[in-house]
Amino acid sequence: MIALIDYNMGNLLSVNKALESIGGDIRIVDKASELEKFDSVILPGVGHFGDGMEHLRSRGFEPAVIKAAQSGKPLLGICLGMHMMLESSEEAPGVSGLGIFKGKVLKFPECNEKVPHMGWNSLSLKQNSKFFDGVQDNSYFYFVHSYYVAPENSDCIIGSCNYIKDFAAVIGKGNICATQFHPEKSQKNGLQILKNFIATTA
């Protein structure tokens, strides 16, 4: 079974619906103590980094998510969920993230382009990943964000995107994958990633 974490900041309904449409055995979980019962974990998210971390901590999810990451269980972070996997963010100075990946979250530099980066954009795959089996290089995904992750170690970058600048759109290591885009809103390509995630749980 897949645990979809409810910490009052996530795009739960759309992620849940997408997973159910492809046969995922998923449960929405709002108690950190329940995570150990599940085979894999999804940390979704929409909103502010500081608020997200506050909600995670107030519900006791911080140590539970870190433990899941270290356990070898498949773990998927989506959008804000991806950001919180890093150590810090310019969106909330002084607020520490989960630190699953070393690095920080930066705001797009000011320029003539609109921020947030919103809409469809292509993904350049940098390395093979089981989570992207069946997804072609330069496939399109749906983005909505004003900040981007800057991991300390580029070896974890699975795919990049260009908007204003090149940025890491997918990071991962072993059992962990995190996407800046929303797979649940990215039609066929996004559903393929979710199918791959389900397959790692089977």
Which residues are identified as catalytic? 79, 182, 184
- Cα 151 to Cα 146: distance, rounded to the nearest angstrom: 17
Q: Phi, psi at residue 90, to the nearest 5°?
A: -65, -15
Helices (H), 22-120: 49-58, 61-71, 80-83
Buried-state track 136-171, b at ≥16 Cβ within 10 A, e below 16:
eeebbbbbebebbbebeeeebbbbbbebeeebbbbb
- Give Cβ neighbours of residue 52 (< 8 Å, ≥ 6 apart): 7, 9, 45, 80, 83, 84
- Cα 84 to Cα 149: distance, rounded to the nearest angstrom: 10
